[in-house]
């Protein structure tokens, strides 16, 4: 599982986190405590350290040409259908912490630190980071095996050639499956965290970066000439998103933002439907001309919506209502809704 292009947190990430919180009304529920943050960082360093021993052994083989070491590593630290058929199920996990080349090792370790740091800032507990990493490893390995199964089945149909070509069956190694899982969860928690490509002074939101890399993996998924485990990347990414949905959604993130945007649009749509425009934080009854604060409960709106709009104004030339976030309003900085001009 070859590594993806390296990118890291922007040097301004800590300051940007505060800006994101104030702009989006806290994308996650609460920041981590000092001890919780420290425990998560310790887990991240352990995950990084697990990649060192196998990488070191492979460098020893390259330096000494010790074939026994090479065979040992290939047998127990590379994932393939051959290994699974031989009962070496542990390769589904050991392969996730195995690297032969320095660049593959270096980038994956740094990406673990990058995404792990985002999870720590978002308040994810150390226990859940461990669960996320292990689950991502298993999911990415399962995705690789599922996607490579037709190739392995073709090899088994070649009869007496199967033994000779056994070693040509797809095999995978590398921590990019774990990296993808951490990326999926981190993206769901802090989609607008600024990321920066290595040596390129361009910052891009984490959500955009994850979508780009996911699209690349999907595009090259069935490319037989690619030496990258695209299926493993997608499997880890999907697990990270599912893990967020079931285990981390209470911390906020995209689910909370989407819910607030939908409620905001629903509130505006309701007032437009009943011809009750919201102007300067107040609702106006077009029939009676009576004005009342938007925060006052009325019998006209659905009981499930309790959003307070403040500092609302309309531009008569463009027919655009500009709704600025109030202290008790939805967690969006500005929402522009183009509607038909009310008579």
Residue 324 within a domain: yes
- Structural domains in the chain (count): 2
- Check whether residue 222 and residue 294 sit in a common domain: no
Q: Are residues 140 and 289 part of one domain?
A: no
Q: Among residues 227, 252, 277, which one ends one of the domains?
A: 252
pLDDT of residue 320: 41
Give the residue ranges of the chain where pLDDT is below 50.
2-8, 10-30, 151-167, 279-281, 284-287, 289, 291, 293-343
Domain with 155, as residue range(s), is 7-252
Alpha helices in the chain (DSSP H): 13-24, 34-49, 52-64, 67-76, 81-85, 91-94, 102-121, 126-156, 161-164, 176-189, 206-219, 230-243, 254-273
CB 194 within 8 A of CB 8: no
Q: Report the C-alpha gap between 239 and 136 in whole angstroms.
A: 6
> How confident is the model at residue 135, as a pLDDT?
95
Distance in Å from the first CA to the final CA of the chain? 61
Residue 1 lies in a domain: no
Residues 6 or more apart whose Cβ sits within 8 Å of residue 151: 169, 170
Same domain, 156 and 270: no
Query: Who contacts 314 (Cβ-Cβ below 8 Å, separation ≥6)?
Result: 277, 279, 320, 321, 322
List, as one string, the DSSP characters of 80-101: -HHHHHTT-TTHHHHGGG--SS
Contact 276, 284 (CB under 8 A): yes
pLDDT in tens, 32-66: 566 688 899 999 999 999 999 999 998 988 888 88
pLDDT digits (tens, 9 = 90+) for 201-223: 778 899 999 999 999 999 988 88
The pLDDT value recorded for residue 148 is: 83
pLDDT of residue 257: 86
Final residue of a structural domain among 211, 236, 252: 252
SS3 284: strand
The whole-number pLDDT of residue 132 equals 96
- With a CB cutoff of 8 Å and minimum separation 6, the contacts of 315 are 321, 322
Whether residue 55 lies inside any domain: the answer is yes
Q: What is the CATH number of the domain that holds 231?
A: 1.20.1540.10
């Amino acid at each position: 599982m070859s590594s993806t292009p390296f990118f890291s947190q922007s040097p301004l990430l800590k300051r940007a986190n505060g800006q994101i919180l104030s702009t989006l009304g806290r994308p996650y529920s609460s920041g981590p405590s000092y001890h919780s943050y420290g425990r998560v960082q310790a887990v991240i360093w352990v995950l990084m350290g697990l990649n060192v021993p196998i990488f070191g052994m492979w460098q020893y083989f390259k330096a000494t040409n010790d074939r026994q070491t090479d065979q040992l590593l290939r047998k127990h630290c590379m994932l393939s259908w051959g290994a699974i058929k031989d009962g070496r199920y542990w390769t589904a996990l050991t392969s996730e912490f195995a690297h032969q080349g320095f660049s593959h090792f270096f980038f994956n370790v740094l990406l673990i630190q990058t995404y792990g740091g985002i999870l720590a800032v978002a308040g994810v507990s150390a226990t859940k980071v461990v669960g996320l990493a292990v689950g991502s490893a298993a999911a990415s390995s399962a995705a690789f095996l599922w996607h490579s199964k037709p190739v392995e089945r073709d090899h088994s149909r070649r009869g007496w050639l199967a033994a000779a070509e056994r070693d040509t069956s797809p095999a995978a190694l590398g921590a990019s499956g774990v990296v993808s899982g951490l990326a999926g969860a981190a993206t769901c928690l802090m989609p607008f965290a600024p990321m920066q490509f290595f040596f390129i002074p361009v910052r891009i939101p984490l959500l955009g970066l994850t979508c780009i890399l996911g699209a690349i993996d999907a595009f090259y998924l069935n490319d037989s000439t690619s030496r990258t485990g695209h299926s493993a990347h997608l499997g880890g990414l999907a697990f990270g998103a599912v893990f967020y949905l079931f285990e981390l959604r209470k911390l906020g993130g995209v689910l909370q933002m989407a819910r607030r945007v939908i409620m905001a649009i629903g509130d505006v749509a309701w007032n437009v439907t009943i011809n009750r425009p919201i102007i300067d934080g107040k609702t106006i009854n077009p029939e009676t001309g009576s004005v009342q604060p938007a925060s006052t409960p009325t019998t006209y709106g659905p009981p499930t919506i309790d959003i307070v709009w403040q500092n609302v104004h309309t531009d008569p030339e463009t027919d655009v209502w500009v709704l600025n976030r109030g202290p008790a309003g939805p967690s969006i900085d500005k929402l522009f809704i183009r509607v038909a001009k009310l008579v």
